[in-house]
Amino acid sequence: MANHKSALKRIRSNESKRLLNKYQHKTTRNAMKKLRELTDKKEAETLFPSVVSMLDRLAKKNVIHANKAANLKSGLAKHVASL
């Protein structure tokens, strides 16, 4: 068990940040899955910028690596272009 007040606060704040990161990561994965399942090009083109924005936010907060975000965005862009 932590002995210092600051260590106890760090445990609390880490847990709340972990839950927020987990929620945002899962939401982004669901949005990517939804985008990949679309067959209508117009719908995909409207959803694509919001998914890219979500990935950029995760990369900025170091929830996922920046290169992984770039790789995912590239794959999604190829998918949208191929519709």
Q: Residues in the chain, how many?
A: 83
Handedness of CA 51, 53, 54, 59 (dihedral sign): positive
**What value does the mean pLDDT take over residues 37-50?**
94
Higher pLDDT, 36 or 3: 36
* pLDDT value for 3: 85
pLDDT of residue 2: 80
pLDDT in tens, 61-76: 999 999 999 999 999 9
E strand map for the chain? none
- pTM of the predicted protein model: 0.86
Residue 1 scores a pLDDT above 80 = no
Confidence of residue 10 (pLDDT cuts 50, 70, 90): very high
